[in-house]
A and B are shown apart, each in its own frame.
Chain A
């Protein structure tokens, strides 16, 4: 158990809908990262927040947004969903903001868009 929790575990929704994925980092960790894992794209970094502020952005679509709250949990919002958004979404946390910090991954949220 990494100490990172993600809810829900599974999510099934329809195209055009909006969903919110939630992540609670390990106790004491200030950084939260979001990744998307799909069969065709592999594991892709989406975005990082550090202590409430956006720190780094990867291949995140404009339809997607994230935020980190004062209690350090984070939410990833996916809107106008398309079939291609079906994937496993991972959250990871680390103590600091550096890319060299060990990232601890949550179990993921499997999103299915029908």
Chain B
């Protein structure tokens, strides 16, 4: 069965600093990988997704993620965070076929300090 692990429950960074959120997945083949963001009181919004091809994926709001097959990782990065980036971030994994649906990680809460 597919699974995804986000090892960091809570991360605090200073505004303007760089950010990396970790995501590790478990799946028999190359899965489809997603990062979603959830702002307080809001639903989830897709930041980016990886299906195949270039392992560095660009998303919205200046985010990018890199797929590393050897490490079973799909870490999310941003070179310089803004106060508005404070939110909960979810990594998700889905199979490339079949009816099994997305499995979400437990999320990483990002706090931005001035």
Residues in chain A within 8 A of chain B (CB atoms): 2, 4, 33, 42-45, 48, 55-56, 58, 90, 92, 99-100, 102-108
Chain A-chain B contacts (Cβ-Cβ < 8 Å), number: 55
B101, A33: Cβ atoms closer than 8 Å:
yes
Interface membership of chain B positions 26-43, coded 1 if the CB is closer than 8 angstroms to chain A and 0 otherwise:
000000100010000111
In the complex, A8 Cα to B107 Cα: how many Å?
A: 25
In the complex, A2 Cα to B98 Cα: how many Å?
A: 26
A99, B101: Cβ atoms closer than 8 Å:
yes
A4, B43: Cβ atoms closer than 8 Å:
yes
Chain A residues contacting B44 (CB-CB under 8 Å) are 43, 90, 92, 105
Chain B residues contacting A58 (CB-CB under 8 Å) are 101
For B99, the closest partner residue in chain A by CB is A56
B99, A102: Cβ atoms closer than 8 Å:
no
B45, A2: Cβ atoms closer than 8 Å:
yes
Please give the distance in Å from B35's CB to the nearest CB on chain A.
12
Please give the distance in Å from A83's CB to the nearest CB on chain B.
22
